[in-house]
Amino acid sequence: MRLSRSLHGLWRKAVRGPLKTLRARLRSAAAARAKGGLPVSVDWETELAVVPFEGRLPPPHAQCSVIEATRYPTRLHPLTVNSTTTEAMHYVPHTVDAPAMTLEHLVDQYWFPKLGLLVSQEARVWRHSFLGPFREGFLSSVKEIVDRPGPDGAPAPVFFPERLAGAPRIAEERLLIANSEKPNYGHYLLDMVPLIHLGARMRAPMLTWTLKPWQRSLIDRLNVPPGLIREIRPHPVFLEHAIVSNRHSGISSQNAHPQQKDVFAAILANVRKAAPGLETPKRVLVCRSLANSRNIVNRAEMIEALKPFGIVAVQPEKLSFDEQALTFANADVIVCEFGAATVNALFCRPDAKVVEIIAEGQHDPWSSHLLAMLGLEHVVLFQPQTEDALANAPRHMKDSPFSYAVDLAKLVETVRALTAA
């Protein structure tokens, strides 16, 4: 596995990266010679008419709030070992602002894969159609958008809508339920699943890129009426009526909303009906794959150190969706490596205890907010990192792998204290 990971990294560096750069340069060169094109900008200004939510999709050029915003406090468990970096501020007690859930009715939009970008015919990128803070690099995945030197010599993105003349058109209203062609498990559960649940209740037609097997399994547990979700290949389409939500931007996965409890309680009830008698361990260690970018070098030793407490190691990606849900639902103690699988805490029982292992420098408190919203007993054990390690392996750089060791003595001490309580 490690050899495969190394070879893949070498291929990215020696082949994939240079080819991607070459293609971008060729497109930019072609754009410099081409006439026309529209300058691209993010639409932060357009105000849609605000209408009340009446159990149906809002009319064109309007928006409504389905779930109102709320606030809740976080806690700092006395057993927590906080980070020694500035990210420590995210784990001391504070108030979380959980966002509303809006529906927004846009007209005449191009929908692109990768990060689900919605771009108007005037080259305006809708502010809730991309995942996370906007970065210029998002546009590199759109072949119809290329960089052209601006007046100051800096590259400026230009959109050529005529190149999409043959794009398929979808005339009817469609609620978009994908914010990425390559969905992250955590983002999908927190951002998209509540929208799918809403769409199923409203019997609203929905649209998504081609679903993965685990997504289909999850949707089966949402009781979505047959035919309500249309899957399309991840190629650009023209949508005459696109229903989007502020949840597409990932704000709900950063600051989980209490509304999600009801959604996932309904899912868990259906999982229990579909998989009666499925036995799972009562205490689990949630491990990441060796092929992942965050790797614990003493994972084998950690597994052995936790065995005396009856803790069983599992890799969520090797489990079915039902097995993941029930593993978390039935466990009273969960030790987990920081990652998307922690979102399964949505299925935990109220008295579950969670110990989360995080390497310093992550600066991403989404799981802390989620567990605070759920009211679970949550201990965070930050693993110290040297300044060189933090500088040479940025935690949020794409394809930037790093490894770290867990303080096993501290972990064992923490688990002993929790299980003795």
For residue 258, what are its two tokens?
Answer: 């209490």
Looking at the DSSP bridge assignments, the partners of residue 337 are 357
Which of 14-23, 217-226, 292-301, 327-336 has the lowest average pLDDT? 14-23
Examine the pLDDT at 13 and tell me if it is beyond 80. Answer: no
Strongest mean pLDDT among 139-143, 261-265, 401-405? 261-265
Examine the pLDDT at 221 and tell me if it is beyond 50. Answer: yes
CA–CA dist 14, 9 (Å, integer): 9
Examine the pLDDT at 6 and tell me if it is beyond 60. Answer: no
CA–CA dist 343, 256 (Å, integer): 10
**What's the pLDDT band for 20 if we cut at 50, 70, 90?**
low
Domains, the chain, ordered by start: 30-66+99-267 (no CATH), 277-420 (3.40.50.2300)
Examine the pLDDT at 194 and tell me if it is beyond 90. Answer: yes
Look at residue 21 in the predicted model and tell me its pLDDT.
Answer: 60
**Average pLDDT of the segment spanning 278-287:** 95
Examine the pLDDT at 4 and tell me if it is beyond 80. Answer: no
Examine the pLDDT at 228 and tell me if it is beyond 70. Answer: yes
Reported pTM: 0.89
Q: Angle CA(84)–CA(89)–CA(93) in degrees, nearest 5? A: 120
CB 236 within 8 A of CB 112: yes
Strongest mean pLDDT among 15-29, 148-162, 336-350? 336-350
Look at residue 388 in the predicted model and tell me its pLDDT.
Answer: 77
